[in-house]
Amino acid sequence: MAISRRKFLNMLTIGSAACLTLLTPISAFAAWASDAFNATKIDDAYKTLFGSATIVESDEVKLKVPKIAENGGAVPVSVKTSMKDVESISIFVKDNPNPLTATFLIPAGTIAGASTRIRLAQTSTITAIIKAGGKLYSKSQEVKVTIGGCGG
């Protein structure tokens, strides 16, 4: 079945408009989070990403990382919680050149959890921060690194 040129151009226009509409929020988030990802001090990254909210340590934040990482280039990190109204999960590494390593936006009504691999420049403390109900909750653990993963 052949499609007329007019119908093809109409479908192309509608498809392009839909793609641009869907990508706009992603680029807006990327610009907003850019300053937090580029921060070189952990307190600046916290402030840029979360504002001036108080961070409370909580046992409801489940952080799973190895105690010793032989290679800092790919350290597995898993964060989950059973808290309600989770908005985001963020992972920070205190002694990395850029402390904010990942941020995951959690859609409403989904199970809050994220797993990834991160780079560690040296032995450092990994902190997971969960934003839930407008409040911030954290859990931290030190990981010893034998070979750093953030070489220049």
Q: Which tens digit of pLDDT belongs to each residue from 110-151?
A: 889 999 999 988 899 999 999 999 999 999 999 998 875 565
Domain that holds residue 96: 39-145
> Would 95 be classed as within a structural domain?
yes
> Would 23 be classed as within a structural domain?
no
Decide if pLDDT at 35 tops 60: yes
Which of residues 62 and 17 earns the better pLDDT score?
A: 62
Q: For 22-31, 59-68, 84-93, 128-137, which range has the lowest pLDDT when averaged over its residues?
A: 22-31
Q: Which CATH number fits the domain that encloses residue 59?
A: 2.60.40.2470
> Would 10 be classed as within a structural domain?
no
Cβ contact 49:103 at 8 Å? yes
Q: To which H or E segment does residue 79 belong?
A: strand 75-80
- End-to-end, the C-alpha distance of the chain in Å comes to 56
Decide if pLDDT at 152 tops 60: no
Residue for token pair 């002694």: 95
Which of residues 13 and 20 earns the better pLDDT score?
A: 13
Number of domains in the chain: 1
pTM above 0.85, yes or no: no
- pLDDT at residue 53 in the model: 78
> Would 99 be classed as within a structural domain?
yes
- pLDDT at residue 27 in the model: 47
> Would 26 be classed as within a structural domain?
no
- pLDDT at residue 125 in the model: 95
> Would 115 be classed as within a structural domain?
yes
Residue 113 burial (CB count, 10 A): 15
> Average pLDDT of the chain?
84
> Would 105 be classed as within a structural domain?
yes
